[in-house]
Chains A and B, each alone.
Chain A
């Protein structure tokens, strides 16, 4: 791994990945990755396809179990914890293929995320009226209010993307893992999207985002972690990473081939 100069004002680590490895039938999708995801900033994972970025997300959220290494949430290991328990600790995510609750309405998609209890009473989510109010606010912030009663399936592409963010806003998570949330957005939607993320970060949310588009990476990242073939090659400030000719050649070499 290339050693980058440490930025002076690093915030506390919220999630720590230590020597994490994941093999599928001997093929290492993630190999000996160590990474600190720091509080209150946007960290971007970049790297060519197959670099292991999504696998890393799946390991963090418990959808996959690591072959070796550890993942610590606020100092406590969460390896082997069920995905729904990890979610309740405060880690929420979106999926590259969105995985909306496609036959439910936009309103229900957001509401059901607040209702985590399996029983009828939702003690931690507040009263029914409070929940409805909160859904209303979230749909307003994501520009989906006029589509509240439309099925997720019947939304336009950009609206689906915003719904996936609306859903994550309904969680009380401190950390959001966003898997290519901006891909395919037109410039106007994209600007709204970045503004939304920025306002959430100001609210205290920590974001880790997988992104391919370098323009977006530049405009959004506080820190960048560069992965290739399952290994973490570099981790640092955007200028350091993007200014490094070796990393660009890996990135663009792979992309243009």
Chain B
């Protein structure tokens, strides 16, 4: 039971990093991306590939994953500079589908559908994080750093510029803000920190394949942000905790036959979402906003 809780807590930490980084571009830059799992996947594949081919050094894996994801984030930044709202959602969806295909077909790097197996535990300075409790500590510290860094950015002048662009891009331009650069920076930050979660994920599980990085995952991350509260500090964390623990909690309902759990889960999910959007449209941590 303890091992099971440690496992859940580790996944909560990883999901929280994903939700925080997605919330950063959704809530503060107004970029609604359905391609967040792409950068999660890029981080995971880069880490696994490096671990299998060269080194188990966590810091090197992190560095490489952040750089690669940051560069690929240009694929998201370019459409984000040209189109807004619904059109961007469609563009990011296309990017997500494309990337999932690359993950499953580029066999020499990603291992194809089967994925990459036997990823050795990551190490820092020769100390390997093989023990799940130690790894949970690592994930928790990383999450704390991400929270602190992201909150600092949101409260800085860059954060205010992002919010200004979200609220009125044309006004931000008219007041001398380099909207293209600011958006590109924010997408770069979001993607590269998202890749950090991917590195942790690959090193923790020791096995990855495309199933964790599809549109389903992207949708789940977006749900975490919306359920928790877009544009709030604690919202994405609350959302990540709830949507990670809910499926686990449902398996404990005694009256459910094991074979039906999947579909019952989906129904409870859907029902909860509908109720939430009716009674708390700004998310659980959301502040009521005035009329638009």
Q: List residues of chain A with CB under 8 Å of any chain B CB.
A: 61, 63, 82-85, 87-88, 92-93, 95, 99-104, 108, 111-113, 115-120, 122, 151, 153-154, 167, 171
Contacts and interface: CB of A to CB of B under 8 A. Distances in A.
B174 A104 contact: no
Interface in B237-292: 289-292
Contact of A99 (B160, B166, B168, B176): B168
B175 A87 contact: yes
A116 B166 CA distance: 15
Nearest to B168: A99
B205 interface: no
Nearest to A101: B167
Contacts of A85: 176
Given A103-B166, A122-B157, 19 more contacts: A61-B174, A83-B173, A83-B174, A84-B175, A87-B175, A87-B176, A88-B176, A92-B174, A95-B171, A95-B174, A99-B171, A101-B163, A101-B172, A104-B164, A108-B160, A108-B163, A112-B175, A118-B161, A171-B175
Interface in B155-214: 156-158, 160-161, 163-164, 166-168, 170-179, 181-182, 185
A151 B171 CA distance: 17
B161 A95 contact: no
Contacts of B292: 102, 153
A112 B174 contact: no
Contacts of B168: 99-102
A26 B25 CA distance: 39
Nearest to B157: A115
Contacts of B167: 100-104
Contacts of A153: 289-292
Nearest to A150: B290
Given A103-B289, A118-B182, A93 B163 contact: no
B185 A118 contact: yes
A118 B291 contact: no
Interface centre among B157, B164, B172, B175 (most CB of A within 10 A): B175
A118 B173 contact: no
A153 B230 CA distance: 17
B291 to A, nearest CB: 7
B174 A63 contact: yes
Nearest to A151: B290
A109 to B, nearest CB: 8
A167 B290 contact: no
12 contacts: A84-B173, A84-B174, A99-B170, A99-B171, A101-B164, A103-B163, A104-B167, A108-B163, A112-B175, A115-B157, A115-B161, A154-B290
Contacts of A113: 175
Given A99-B168, A100-B167, A101-B168, A171 B161 contact: no
A28 to B, nearest CB: 23
Shortest beta-carbon contacts, A-B, top 5? A87-B176, A115-B157, A153-B290, A99-B171, A112-B160
